Structure formats: structure tokens, C-alpha cells
Amino acid sequence: MPDIPILWHVPLSRSMRVMWLLEEIGCDYDLRRVDFFDGSMRADDYASLHPAGRVPVLQIDGLTLHESGAMIEYLCETRAPALMRGPGQAGRGEWLDWLHFAETLGQHLANLTQHHIVLREDWQRSPTVMKLESAPAVARAASGRNRAERSRLADGRIFRRRLRGRLVGLAGAPLYRAGPPPRAGRLRRTLRRAPGVSAQPARAG
């Protein structure tokens, strides 16, 4: 196993949230880029890391992790304890709830990506899924939850704002037909100035 973490990454996938956290906490790591379309994720050497041929993969501390939520939790626990709400600590339940809500948004965005980008022929797409999984609907769900939880999670702004915004503001915005609405656009510009976000294009290409 390597001395520093290795993150196997595809832009605009769940590996972005792991990469972003690594950047935010200043953890040195080795970024390995693979691609959905060039066959690299089906190659034998990558299959030895992830038999299902998915991303992300994080090699760290003698472990090979495959779930982005587990990677976030493990990195907070071992590399950034100030961000962690451990068992018995105040805010533990809310911390876990927001951590895993990011995965819920990730699934919506994965469906959007499949139906608007990956499936190129109209006959391959489901009009019902495209209607239900619209970018504005996903953004509204995230914003509604943000408003409902704001008073209870004042101490957890970094997770509420950045996990929600990273997924919706940056990954979801390209799927709006006429560009993101004004509030989402402002959020996107603000997040792009965050250290961990602004470092990503240079490293990920």
C-alpha cells in the first residue's frame, strides 16, 4: 500500500467530494484519473481495485475503500478530527444525517448525468426519470432541507453549505438548459473560491 492516500477519480462523479475534502484539510495524496468512456475502468488492473468498475476508490492506511461516504467519515476521523462528530459528542446525529444526505443528492445527480450525458440517444432515456430527476427539483430539495436545518446546525456550516453546494452548485449546474438560477449561480461562484474547490481543476484537468 502507498505511503500517501491514492484517490482514483472521475470528474463530476462522487470522487469529487473525496478529492475536495482532501484539498480542504490539506492532506497530501496521489490523484489517479480514470474515465467512464475509454475502457480504463474495465481494465484488469483497475478491476483488482474495484471489481464493479466504479469510482471512487481510495487506498489509504492499508485499506481500499469504495464508498465515498465511508471515505469522508474515515478522513475526518483520521486526518481532520475537528470536523468529526464522534459517538457521544453533541451534534453526532445531525452530522451523520448531513453526511449521508450528500449521498442522496449524489444519486439524483447520477441519474441526471446518465439521462442527459451518458445516454446519448433519445430512445435510451426515460422521460419519466428525466421529469422526476430534474436539476431544479434536486436543487429545491437541497435548499429546502438547508432552510429547515439552518437553526439546528449553525455549528456545522461547513458540511451543510459545502456538501450541499458542492454537489448541486457545481455538479448540477451544467444540467440546467438556460444556466443555473441566480441563487444557485451565486452559490457556485462562492464555492469556486473555496481552497479545496479552486484546487480541483488544476489537479483533475
Q: What local confidence, expressed as pLDDT, does residue 70 receive?
A: 93
Same domain flag for 77 and 133: no
Nearest to 18 by CA among 70, 93, 94, 63: 70
SS3 category, 8: strand
CB 101 within 8 A of CB 138: no
β-pairing, 30-33 with 6-9?
Answer: parallel
Nearest to 200 by CA among 2, 22, 75, 71: 22
Q: Which of 33, 62, 84 is the last residue of a domain?
A: 84
Same domain flag for 117 and 184: yes
CB 60 within 8 A of CB 7: no
Q: Which residues have a Cβ under 8 Å from the Cβ of 147 and sit 6 or more positions away?
A: none
Same domain flag for 105 and 63: no
Q: Which of 45, 66, 84 is the last residue of a domain?
A: 84
Residue 61 domain boundaries: 6-84
Same domain flag for 66 and 158: no
What is the reported pTM? 0.67
Number of domains the chain is built from: 2
Task: For residue range 18-70, list pLDDT tens digits in order.
Answer: 998 999 899 999 999 998 888 888 899 898 999 899 999 999 999 999 999 99
CATH number of the domain where residue 73 is located: 3.40.30.10
CB 105 within 8 A of CB 168: yes
Same domain flag for 14 and 77: yes
Q: Which of 68, 84, 100 is the last residue of a domain?
A: 84
Task: For residue range 134-147, list pLDDT tens digits in order.
Answer: 655 555 555 555 55
